Structure 1
């Protein structure tokens, strides 16, 4: 299967929605977590659905439409404002270092915990428990997800994403082609299907 790079931040509901459709793609995702606030600052992007009240209202409706279309559950986490999403991103990076496919396993568990199941994610032990339930070594990851070295790695990866041209989430990169947004999945699907 053709690999594609999936640039995401757990704060992005559209990243979650896109993720739920990966099983329908003729490609294999390589998970590239990045800090969306950092990347937006680096690229001069702004979160328009945050600064524009009309767009914010529209996005709420749009998200429900997509969730219905995909037949997936999507709920805003009741404690979202209290969750350190950089910790979730760092945990995903650490999981990738711990074992092959670790980032993919962590991403699925954390996306579902954040956007589907409303699972506790406020403390390090909460995140570790979610990862352990997914079959990862939660105890080992508990010690890595807040490590300054892991935080530095996240900063480096965010800078690299911006240098590549990524300006928001979700973004998908296949070779020299980049597709931005859940609503560009059909273009990604066509691109992947055209590969031998």
Structure 2
């Protein structure tokens, strides 16, 4: 049975995007499977007292340089979104509503790309709708999922469970019970596999 990388993510995190792009190579080398768990990064920050690194000016400048450096090293197309930070609650609900279905991977791809490859303000419903249509996805279906009370509750539950497990930011990975934080810890994730 293949080992599993549990990947707790929010598409609003640029380092999560970088991790998402690096995971396929790890999967190819290890035969692992990735279990994508949508969470609300803002909810995690609120529950843990954490804050976005960019709120400290010097750290934010360094992080922007470091993300560009990492993307270049790994051949990842990356552009900082000029509208960052973007409210991702609707997108994360959409992803929660498609989790475990064949719609999940295409939707995740469109959202990550729209945030960090061809950056646009996906927090704006009109821009999100146009992006989904442009990718051949039905926005009515995805918005209906995002507004489903059961989906909303599932995203809250996943976020609360993440906090209970010790998560304080994104991206966070688990291999078994062992937690790893940050896209720059994927070498440790691979070693744990």
* Structure 2 SS opposite 1:30: strand
Quote how far apart the aligned CAs of 1:135 are: 6.1
Q: How many residues of Structure 1 are paired with residues of Structure 2 in the alignment?
A: 188
Match of 2:57 in 1: 53
The answer to whether the 8 Å contact 1:8/1:32 transfers is yes
Equivalents in 1 of 2:75, 2:10: separation in Å? Answer: 22
- Structure 1 spans left out of the alignment, 5+ residues: none
Aligned to 1:34: 39
Name the Cα RMSD after superposition.
2.2
Q: CA–CA distance in 1 between the matches of 2:150 and 2:107?
A: 19
Distance in 2 of aligned mates of 1:50 and 1:119: 19
Residue correspondence of structure 1 range 161-180 to structure 2 within 5 A? 161-180=162-181
Cα offset, 1:168, TM superposition = 0.6
1:68 aligns with 2:69: no
Task: Report the more deviating stretch, 119-128 or 35-44.
Answer: 119-128
CA offset at residue 120 of structure 1? Answer: 5.7
Please state whether the residue corresponding to 2:99 is helix, strand or coil.
helix
Pairwise CA distance, 1:96? 1.7
| C-alpha separation in 1, matches of 2:58 and 2:126 | 38
2:82 equivalent to 1:78: yes
Q: How far has the Cα of 1:145 moved from its partner?
A: 1.4
Q: Distance in 1 between matches of 2:23 and 2:96?
A: 20
Q: Is the Cα contact below 8 Å between 2:12 and 2:87 reproduced in 1? A: no
TM-score (norm. length: structure 1): 0.84
Inter-CA distance 30–136: structure 2 relative to 1 (3 Å threshold): farther
Partner of 2:154: 153
**1:139, distance to aligned residue in structure 2 (A):** 3.2
Question: Quick one: distance in 1 between partners of 2:75 and 2:148?
Answer: 37
Q: Is residue 83–residue 120 contact of structure 2 (8 Å, CA) maintained in 1?
A: no
